[in-house]
Every structure is written in structure tokens, then in C-alpha cells.
Structure 1
Amino acid sequence: MKKILLLLLFFNFLFAQINSPEFYERQIKILRDLDIESNFISNLVFVQSQQDIKSKHTKTLIDGMQNFSKITPMIRKIISEEEVPEEILYLAMVESGLKVNSVSNAKAVGIWQFMKPTAKNLGLRVDAYVDERRDPVKSTYAAIDYLKRMKAEFGKWYLAILAYNCGNGKLHQAIKEAGSDDLNVLLDSDKKYLSLETRNFLRKILTLSFLANDRDFLLAKDASLVNYALSNDFIKVDAPSSVSLKDIAKNLNISFATFKKYNPHFKHNFTPPGKGYYMYIPLNKVAFFDKYFKENKLAKVDTTIPMTKVYTVKAGDSLYKIAKNHHVSIDSIKELNRIYKNRLSINQKIIIPIKENKNANIKTAQSDSKNYSNFIRH
């Protein structure tokens, strides 16, 4: 015990020597924001793990700041409006690196990594036409709603974050076994009340939060990062039903790739049938949209959803060969499977569209009634 106390004092001293008083205060504020006692900053395992986490996940942080400048401002704005800790942004970074098309081995999707049943329970639409887990705005509201529910259930933000990773049932069990909800107790490496994945989940979020608040670190990486994520540059408008996304992009005078980047929730190259759906457009196109965009001039397209089959890639296969053998286009296979390169792996399972004449009987969900006031125009 004496040896452990001496080690804790040593690491605490070392930590204070390395970091400036201002940065130390910012770290303490982060802990307070998440209802964590300030003494956790000296937690031996946390201090020891930080260097490893930094080496493995610094790139995630920098990429999130540099490559997702259209997403981070939006998340920060919603977090501020919803009055939840700003550190929640780094939960998304740990989950997916802020990649809207991220898919886990367990089939969790989007920047917040929702499973399909959870997404639907939170009001996100996931069907043959759209997957709103890929919508960074709607999925962020859903993630915050979920975290608020967990905060109400457990009483502390760090517990809500742990529950986000392991589920509320497992967290209740862990607290019962530990006889405490104190973070130092729950993350005990010997007792293992929680899995290593869940224990490291919170440590990663804290480490990224600390790095993002380390001005010297950001300046050393890229001076522009100090002022990143200041404003969003897109807005939500009504989408015409059953029209080609390429026609919409053309009428907005933007590239199809740009339109898809702003609207990753569309599963196909057309908008869903039925009224009441939406799309995002760049902020600098709002005046053009209001003046020149005419829905009645866009041709309606066939919104038939093709039947599909699962194909296992064999040695010697290529996208060209598979497409030719199944009488479909390469683009249709790439779009359906969200394949962005032409390489395939042996034993990789891909979905092949099979054309048929019969329309899928899909009920169009009503648009979400929540007032996303800063992103919706009426």
C-alpha cells in the first residue's frame, strides 16, 4: 500500500511538472464537467495509459479536426444547445473517428455507432431508402437524447458514458458488485467490474479531451487547429420525393460528390418516395436554392428497391467480373456496399442487386417532429 501511495505521489508530481497551471486547470474542469472527482487525474492506471492512448489515438483527434470541419462545428453547436458536456464530442471521435460511413463488426453504423434497434428506438429512420444513423445532425440529437436518459438513470455523466459503451444493465451489475459508483473503484484493473473495452473507453475520451485543450500540443501539430470548429456551413431544406440526386446536385450547381457528402443518409441515388423528407445543402447555396430551385422541373424516377443476394468473393474475382456475371453495373454494387475502392478480399461478403419489376412495399416514416431550429428552414 505504501509503495502504491508513493507511486501516486510521484506521478502526481510528474504530471504537475509536465503541464502548465493553465492546462492543469483545464484538465480539472474536464473532469468536473463529467462529474469525476479531481483526484482521478492522479489515478495510476489512467496516468500510465495516457501515453499509450496518445500514441494510438492522436491521429484520430487531428484527423477529426482537420478532415471533418463540416461535422465538428455542428456537433459542438448541438452540444451547447442541449447543455451537455462538450467532451461528448470526443465520445464520437473514439467511437468512429467522426466517419459518417463507419460500420463496426457488430453492424453499428455512423459517427455515434448505433445498432439498428437502438437507432429506431431513438426515432431515427432506418429502412430501404435512408439510414439516418449516417445523418450527422439527427444522429447527434439521438446520441445526446440517449446520454441524457443514461444521465437521468445513473445521476452522473461519467456513468452515462460508461453505459453508452457497455449498456445500462451491465453498468448496474458492475455498480452492485463494486458496492460503489466511484470511478476509481469501477475502473479497478484487478477487480474487473467492467470490461477492458469499457474501462479504456472513458480513458480514451478523457485523453482526447485533454489533448484538444492543450494549446501547445495543437500549435505543435497545426496552428490552425487552435481555432477549429467555429461554424457550420450547411442547412436543412425540404427534399423533393422520388427524384435523382444527380438532378438535384445539377440544379444546385454543385457536384454530385459534394451533394452526397452533405447527404450520406440517402442509401440510393434518389430521394425516397412520399412527402415530408429533407436534405442538406451548403450554406452558400441557400440564395441560389430559394431563387432557382424548382421541384416541379425535376423528373420523377423509378424508386423500385431491387431484390438482393449475398455473394462471397472468390479467388480471381473482380468487381467487373462479378457485375458482368450478375448483369448489373459496377456502380450499383459499389453503392449498395459502400465500396469506395476497386479492391476486394477473398471471402468478403458483398450484396448483389437483382432487378425486378415489383415495387417494395415500404411505408414512409413521418419526418422527425423535433425542432432542430438551427438546421431546419421552413
Structure 2
Amino acid sequence: MNFKNIFLGIFLIAFSNLANAQFLSASDTSENSVKRYKNIINANKDIVNFIEYSLVEKGLPRHLRNLALIESHFDRKITSGAGAVGVWQFMTAHANQYGLTEQNRTDLYKSTKTAAVSLANLYKKYNNWVTVVAAYNCGEGNIAKAMAAANSTQYHIFYKYLPQETINHVKKYLNACYATGELQTVLSNYNSSRMNTVFFVNGGSNKHLGDLSETDINAGFNLNIIADELDVDMDKLLSWNPGINEELQQKGESTLYLPTDLMPDFLLRKTKILSRSMKERNTANAK
């Protein structure tokens, strides 16, 4: 990999982040907004718990529960003016695309499982949750048109070519994530995706950089053991996760990014990896 191109990429990202920080952030951080979102979540705890369980089971982040929050307020029986139905507001065509019948759009179990598959597929395509939320609202066709019009795959550049409803939808999502304390995770994911795009365009040799999935880990996990279990170089693991050591030390938890084809292996071995990590830590402490 050409380090000159890497440093150029980092500079461009840092400069662009400063220019667009105000846009890609919560537009309403008022006490009333936070309270409103939290009250809706607290009033629907059983539904929220099921949705979060289903998301984690699929290897998706919990903050996607906020998509159902802004779509429907977790109301299974709600129907929009455009004909979208249920907690996840499936249109008939979108539902049929994933084998969800028109009648089952109000079924919490079936619609949530379908939404998880849809969101996972969108993430494989766009590699960041901001664009995924936009695509879920307006469709992949509108995203493709906006990207073409802006000559960019980055949301903060092509968003102006999207329907106003979609732009507002993304704003609501960011506001909801602020209320649930997950905004920084969403924005870090977006900026990480942009960094990977710049590295790839500027001659990065890692074919996986544009196809990462995410999951949460805590400080109990040893990164060396993760690398060993997945049979990847430690340098490669850190290139997918810049700053992860510091975040684990400071916060006790972090988002772990892995190539989409490796994520199932990690999830299957997660318990074993944690067990090995704790055993090694105990051995080191005993010396």
C-alpha cells in the first residue's frame, strides 16, 4: 500500500469531516426530543427487546431498533398514507422481494426477521448505516440516481439529490440515536466507511475494505486471539479497526469491524474467543 496515498486520504477525510460535521449530526438535541424518543422506547419494552435480540442474532447493531422507532413508533397496526404497513413500514413490493406476504407485514416476528435480512443486504451494498437508512426509506433506485447526479457514493455529498422526505428521515434517525446515546457509533461507522473508500480508491491492496460488517465487543476480548481464531494478520485486523485499542481501554467496549465473509466465523467462535481471552488474562495476572 502506498503510504503517501494513505496520508493524503487521511488528510482529505479530516478536512471533509470538518466541513460536514455540522450536517451529519443530530439536528434536535433538545430535552423534549430526547424525552419523547425514550418514552416511546420505554412504553414498548417487549417489542424493543425482541427487535434488538433479532438484530444481534443477525450480527446487526442494536441502534437499528431506532429505524422501527421513527418508522412506526413500534405500532404493528399502523399504515402510512403511501400504504406502508407495520412496525417496519413495509411496502408491498419491498415485502414481496423478501418473501414477506402482504398480510404478514403486521406480524412482528416475521416482519422483523425480514427487516434484518433487508438491512444486512443494504449494508453489504453501502457499507454504512446512514446510507442504509436512506435506502430503506426511498429505495435503492433513488440512491443510485442521487449518487450518479452527485458523482459520489458519500451520503453527505449526494443527499441533496434525494427526496426531502428521505433527508428528513435520516435526520430523525440521527436524532433518535442521539437520544439513545448511539449517535457517535453511527457517525464513526460512517466516517470509517469513508476512510475505507479513500484507501481503496488510492491503491489499497485489501479487497475487503469496502465490505465490512460490525458487531460489539467489550474489553474482555483479546484482539490477538481474535486474529488467531480468524487466521488473519494482526496488522490487517487493526487496519479494519483504527483506534479500537484506545476505545476498549477508555470505554470498555467498542465496535468491531470485520469483512462480511469473516463475521459469521467470529460470531460462531465468539464465546470461545472470549473464554481464551479471559484465560490468557488470568494467566498473565497470576505471573
- Shorter chain as denominator, the TM-score bin is 0.5 to 0.7
Whether the aligned pair in 1 keeps the contact of 2:74 and 2:87 (CA below 8 Å) is: yes
TM-score between the two structures when normalised by the length of structure 2: 0.53
Task: Return the index of the structure with the highest Cα Rg.
Answer: 1
Partner Cα distance (1:141, 1:203) in 2:
25
Partner Cα distance (1:157, 1:51) in 2:
20
Q: What secondary structure, in the 3-state scheme, does the structure 2 residue paired with 1:44 have?
A: coil
Distance 1:47 1:125, change over 3 A: closer
- Superposed displacement of residue 56, structure 1: 5.4
Unmatched tracts of structure 2, length 5 or more:
1-14, 183-287
- Superposed displacement of residue 58, structure 1: 4.4
Partner Cα distance (1:40, 1:84) in 2:
28
Partner Cα distance (2:18, 2:46) in 1:
34
1:195 counterpart (163, 166, 171): 163
Give the number of the structure with larger relative contact order, counting CA–CA contacts within 8 Å between residues 6 or more apart.
2
1:154: which partner in 2? 126
- Superposed displacement of residue 196, structure 1: 1.9
TM-score between the two structures when normalised by the length of structure 1: 0.41
- Superposed displacement of residue 184, structure 1: 2.0
Partner Cα distance (2:153, 2:18) in 1:
14
Whether the aligned pair in 2 keeps the contact of 1:102 and 1:109 (CA below 8 Å) is: yes
> How many equivalent residue pairs?
168
Partner Cα distance (2:71, 2:18) in 1:
23
Alignment deviations for residues 316-350 of structure 1 (CA, whole Å, 9 cap, x no partner)? xxxxxxxxxxxxxxxxxxxxxxxxxxxxxxxxxxx
Whether the aligned pair in 1 keeps the contact of 2:27 and 2:175 (CA below 8 Å) is: no
Alignment deviations for residues 11-59 of structure 1 (CA, whole Å, 9 cap, x no partner)? xxxxxxxxxxxxxxxxxxxxxxxxxx9938963245582247x755742
2:65 counterpart (61, 67, 89): 89
Whether the aligned pair in 1 keeps the contact of 2:54 and 2:113 (CA below 8 Å) is: yes
Whether the aligned pair in 2 keeps the contact of 1:87 and 1:205 (CA below 8 Å) is: no
The code of the aligned residue for 1:198 comes to T
Distance 1:197 1:179, change over 3 A: same
Distance 1:40 1:168, change over 3 A: farther
Pairs within 5 Å for 1:104-119: 104-119=80-95
Distance 1:62 1:41, change over 3 A: farther
CA RMSD of aligned residues (A): 2.7
1:210 counterpart (178, 189, 199): 178
Partner Cα distance (1:71, 1:180) in 2:
37
Unmatched tracts of structure 1, length 5 or more:
1-36, 215-378
Distance 1:42 1:171, change over 3 A: closer
- Superposed displacement of residue 205, structure 1: 1.1
Alignment deviations for residues 256-313 of structure 1 (CA, whole Å, 9 cap, x no partner)? xxxxxxxxxxxxxxxxxxxxxxxxxxxxxxxxxxxxxxxxxxxxxxxxxxxxxxxxxx
Pairs within 5 Å for 1:297-336: none
1:182 counterpart (146, 154, 171): 154
Partner Cα distance (1:167, 1:118) in 2:
9
The code of the aligned residue for 1:184 comes to H
- Superposed displacement of residue 105, structure 1: 0.5
2:45: which partner in 1? 69
Partner Cα distance (1:76, 1:143) in 2:
12
1:44 counterpart (22, 40, 45): 22
